[in-house]
Amino acid sequence: MSSSWYERLVGVAGSGAAKVPREVLVIDDHAEAREMIVALLTRLGWKTLQAADGAEAVSVMKANHAVIGLALVDVILPDTDGMSLARQLRDQYPRLAIVLLSGQLNDESRWIVSDEGFRFLPKPFSLPQLRDVVAEMLGDPDAPDPV
């Protein structure tokens, strides 16, 4: 594991006391979609939190930022767009990994997402696709914290 990855995630190089944030915040205004993603992540061994809109996501992050390592953000939300929310979360929590979700992004929009430094996962996605992107961002859910 590289120290730059570790420093980005926990903010302190070499500190064995810091716990790697491994919970996933799922942000989607469609309850069925959000609950399906949460159920899949739970099945894969991840702990999750959820929010139905941008305001709730900001509140959940504020209360739980020490344990959240990844936010899965739907691009279309009722009170904001997912890209704006992702930027806000990144500005407030620079170590937070962010993946934008949408079934409606065209190729140009995907380039913008990539240029902003976010990952993109197109809806609908499979269980292996979700597993792979979360594992890439956070590692194995059962792995011990780095020492």
Amino acid 132: pLDDT: 95
Helices 54-64 and 82-92, interaxial angle, to 10°? Answer: 20
Q: What average pLDDT does the structure give for the chain?
A: 84
Tens-place pLDDT, residues 37-91:
999 999 999 999 999 999 999 999 999 999 999 999 999 999 999 999 999 999 9
- Phi/psi of residue 101, nearest 5 degrees: -120, 135
Tens-place pLDDT, residues 105-118:
666 666 677 788 88
C-alpha–C-alpha distance, residues 134 and 70, integer Å: 8
pLDDT at 134 over 50: yes
* Tokens linked to 110: 């995907």
Amino acid 1: pLDDT: 39
By percentage, how much of the chain surpasses pLDDT 70? 78
Amino acid 50: pLDDT: 98
pLDDT at 32 over 90: yes
Cα dist. 17→10, 14, 29, 46, 61 in Å? 10, 9, 36, 21, 22
Torsion-angle region of residue 108: left (phi > 0), alpha (psi -120 to 50) or beta? Answer: alpha
Amino acid 16: pLDDT: 46
Amino acid 2: pLDDT: 39
Amino acid 103: pLDDT: 84
Q: What is the pTM of this model?
A: 0.82
CATH class of 20-136: alpha beta
Residue owning tokens 């065209």: 106
Dihedral (CA of 31, 34, 40, 41) sign: negative
Residues with Cβ within 8 Å of residue 120, at least 6 apart in sequence = 99, 100, 101, 102, 105, 110, 113, 114
Q: Could you tell me which residues are beta bridge partners of residue 121?
A: 101
Amino acid 6: pLDDT: 35
